[in-house]
Amino acid sequence: MAARDHELLHAAKRIAAALGRTPDEVMRRVVELGRGDRVDWSSSELLLCALAQLAAERPIPSGAGGRAATIENIEAPSLGVTPGRPVSTETEEGDIT
C-alpha cells in the first residue's frame, strides 16, 4: 500500500505543477476538505477533490500548457490526430472521408 500512496502523491505533485499550484497549496486544500463533512474520506479521495477545486478556481488559459505540455520530455499530442492514420475531412456535400 505504501508504494501506491507514493505513486498517488507523485501524480498529485505533477498535476499541481501543471495547474500552476504548489504542493503546499494542494495539501492545505486537502486539510480544509478533511475538516468538513468528509472526515471519513480517504486521503486519495480528498486529494483528487482538492485538485479539482483548485483547477476550477484558476482555469488555465487556452494554449497555455505550462509543464503539462512537457512532462517527462514528451510533447502534448495533437488532439484528433492519431499517428499513422489519415485525418478525416468533410467534403462539400457533408460526407466525411
Per-residue pLDDT band at 79 (split at 50, 70, 90): very low
Count of CA atoms in the C-beta half-sphere (13 A) of 39 = 3
CA angle 20, 21, 22 (to 5 degrees): 130
Is 29 within 8 Å of 68 (Cβ atoms)? no
pLDDT tens, residue by residue, 1-32? 578 878 888 888 899 888 889 989 999 999 99
Cell of 50: 482538492
pLDDT tens, residue by residue, 30-65? 999 999 888 899 888 899 999 999 988 876 555 555
Q: pTM to 2 decimals?
A: 0.55
Which amino acid, one-letter code, is at 5? D
Is 87 within 8 Å of 62 (Cβ atoms)? no
